[in-house]
Amino acid sequence: MTINRFLTAALLLACATACQVSLAQNMFHEEFLPKSGKGPGVLVMSGQTGPDSRRSYAKDLAEEGYYVLLLDGNDIHSRTKPGAQNFKEAVASMLASPNNTSSKVAVVGFSLGGGGALAQAIHQTETVSGVVAMYPATSWIQNVDRLVERMNVPLLFISAEKDTYNNCCLIEKAREIEATAKAKGKSFEFVTYPDAEHGFDLTGRNYRRDYVTDSWKRTMEALKKAHANTAR
């Protein structure tokens, strides 16, 4: 190995370590590895209730062969925390990890975490390969046109038509985003479930197995497309 190559390798190792240390200090994160120990990176961001309810989902993704990093959505979409910086550090940590085999990461966000994905991920073309937003929080969006202008990575947007939870994720706002994205020719797939309420994929009165099955299938297809050309 030449001196220059040695120095480059050393710098990459130092950067990876620094990113991981910074991430550990600033926010919750938990890794899930596929059986092979390595795979394309997928960043999962929970809703407001925190990451506990998304741990099994992250495990299921890892079983599909992905290297998964689970985050608390409250660290990404918050008025009191540096969400943009936290997201950037999480992505950098994943890309630097020896467990990651992709040059970009895909992002899956639920509710508040889905809002975080819309806020932080949809314009990151150099590091994000695709986004799946599950009944994402949209009440914070004041200018739909401006949001859609930033929509430069493929997006699968899944909405529950009967979602009235805290008015965070109303179908009317989702349809406005869809119409604007369609008019601007954005890479946007919009799916709605007529009888679904907020958290239809979580155990409880709102749970709908049929919608869970369909949304999982669509997510798998979206992730496969997102990572089709990201091997490094």
**pLDDT digit string, tens, across residues 125-184:** 999 999 999 999 999 999 999 999 999 999 999 999 999 999 999 999 999 999 999 999
- Looking at residue 12, its pLDDT comes to 38
CATH of 3-226, picked from 3.40.50.1820, 2.40.50.140, 3.40.50.300, 3.30.830.10, is 3.40.50.1820
- Looking at residue 232, its pLDDT comes to 87
Which letter does DSSP use for residue 80 in this model?
S
Distances (CA, A) of 58 to 24, 143, 166: 19, 32, 26
Q: What is the pLDDT of residues 42-69, one digit of tens each?
A: 999 999 999 999 999 999 999 999 999 9
Q: Where are the domains of the chain?
A: 3-226
* Model confidence, pTM: 0.89
Q: What one-letter code names the amino acid at 88?
A: K
- Looking at residue 206, its pLDDT comes to 96
Q: What is the pLDDT of residues 81-117, one digit of tens each?
A: 899 999 999 999 999 999 999 999 999 999 999 999 9
Question: Is the pLDDT score of 225 beyond 80?
Answer: yes
- Looking at residue 166, its pLDDT comes to 96
Question: Is the pLDDT score of 5 beyond 90?
Answer: no
Among residues 157, 136, 143, 153, the alpha carbon closest in space to that of 73 is found at: 136
- Looking at residue 167, its pLDDT comes to 97
- Looking at residue 27, its pLDDT comes to 80
Distances (CA, A) of 32 to 28, 74, 153, 186: 14, 20, 24, 32
> pLDDT tier at 80 (50, 70, 90 boundaries)?
confident
Q: How far apart are CA 151 and CA 28, in angstroms?
A: 27
Q: What is the pLDDT of residues 6-42, one digit of tens each?
A: 333 343 344 443 344 346 456 889 999 999 999 999 9
Distances (CA, A) of 91 to 62, 102, 129, 144: 17, 12, 11, 25
Both tokens assigned to 203:
């155990």
- Looking at residue 118, its pLDDT comes to 98
